[in-house]
Amino acid sequence: MTDETNTTGDREAFLMSYEDSCDRVPVLWIHGYPLSNLLWDFQIDGLADVCRLLTPDLRGHGGSEATEPPYSVGTFADDCADLLDHLGVTGPVVVAGLSMGGYIAFEFYRRYPERVAGMILAATRAGADSDEGKINRDKAAGVAIAEGVEVVVDGMLPKLLAPDNLVEQEDMVEFVREMMLATAEDGMVGALTAMRDRPDSTPLLAKIDVPVLIVHGEEDQLIPVSEAQSMQDAIPGSELVIVPAAGHLPNLEQPEVFNDAVRGYLEQFYEE
């Protein structure tokens, strides 16, 4: 579906693409950079009986229109809130974010705590970028502008999957590459600015008072598993599942393990 989700107020309107399924606990699945909602195909297949899956393409990614950068994590969080409004989802939802989607989930929680019933934090971290990390965001944006999105994609792709999966799962590698190539240049630059300027969410962790599931690939080359362990230490009552034989995309690389963890986590939302 593609709709103009923000038709009121003073925020710039743009066409946002999304999928929506069933009438169970709503879970807002926020993809990472530079990906799209195709990231969640195995969750749509495997979890539609236990949750309503809302899977937007972020601004400038997949089928959603790009607007001129810069963007912020607040831009993306507000876009997600606009989508919920547009769909008439007024009650709290579980916010699930992978990597940059996790950075956005933290911002969504800061802005809309009353709209968050729970959080699933996959392959993400709480901290902000280091000074060197910020410089690298600007370098990547420069490459996207000067040489095109494909050059950035091909530099990043080998780090997204566990080393064995990269070699053995040719179809998966091609699927992820195609997904990344659907990112508009403005979307890529906008996401890089959003990640560069995102706040440190570490102080938020101890204040999160909804159930949290943390899932992390054991072989994540982009965000070390120690980041997930630190988040679990800081978020009261949170649960951590480390997924073997998975890199930065555990939901795609090991969908059954990932979906089992989510299924178990969601049970508490159906308890009397």
- Give me the residues that bind ligand MLT (CB under 6 A), please: 32-33, 99-100, 195, 222, 248
Q: Tell me whether residue 211 or residue 247 sits nearer to ligand MLT (CB atom).
A: 247
Q: Choose between 26 and 247: whose C-beta lies nearer to ligand MLT.
A: 247
State which residue, 26 or 32, has the beta carbon closest to ligand MLT.
32
> In whole angstroms, how close is the CB of 105 to ligand MLT at the nearest point?
12
Eight-class DSSP state of 72: -
Buried-exposed string 13-50: b where 16+ CB fall within 10 A, e elsewhere: ebebbbbebeebbbbbbbbbbbbbbbbbbbbbebbeeb
Nearer to ligand MLT, 59 or 248 (CB): 248
Q: CA-CA distances (angstroms) from residue 144 to 149, 202, 255, 263? A: 5, 30, 31, 38
Tell me how far, at minimum, the Cβ of 136 lies from ligand MLT, in Å.
9
Pick between residue 41 and residue 85 the one whose CB is nearest to ligand MLT.
41
> Residue 167, Cα to own-chain centre: how many angstroms?
25
- The nearest distance, CB 28 to ligand MLT, in angstroms, is 16
Note if the bond before 255 is cis, omega within 30 degrees.
no
| Residue 23 phi, psi dihedral angles, 5° rounding | -120, 30
Q: Which two tokens stand for residue 263?
A: 């299924």
Q: What's the min distance (Å) between Cβ of 32 and ligand MLT?
A: 3
Minimum CB separation from ligand MLT for residue 75, in Å? 15
Residue 56 C-beta: closest distance to ligand MLT, Å: 15
93 contact partners, CB below 8 Å, separation of at least 6? 25, 26, 27, 28, 54, 84, 115, 116, 117
Cβ-closest residue to ligand MLT? 32
Residue with the two structure tokens 């090991």 = 254
- What is the side-by-side order of every strand in the sheet holding 2-4? 2-4, 15-20, 52-56, 26-30, 93-98, 116-122, 212-217, 239-243
Residue among 28 and 266 whose Cβ is closer to ligand MLT: 28
* 24: helix, strand or coil: coil
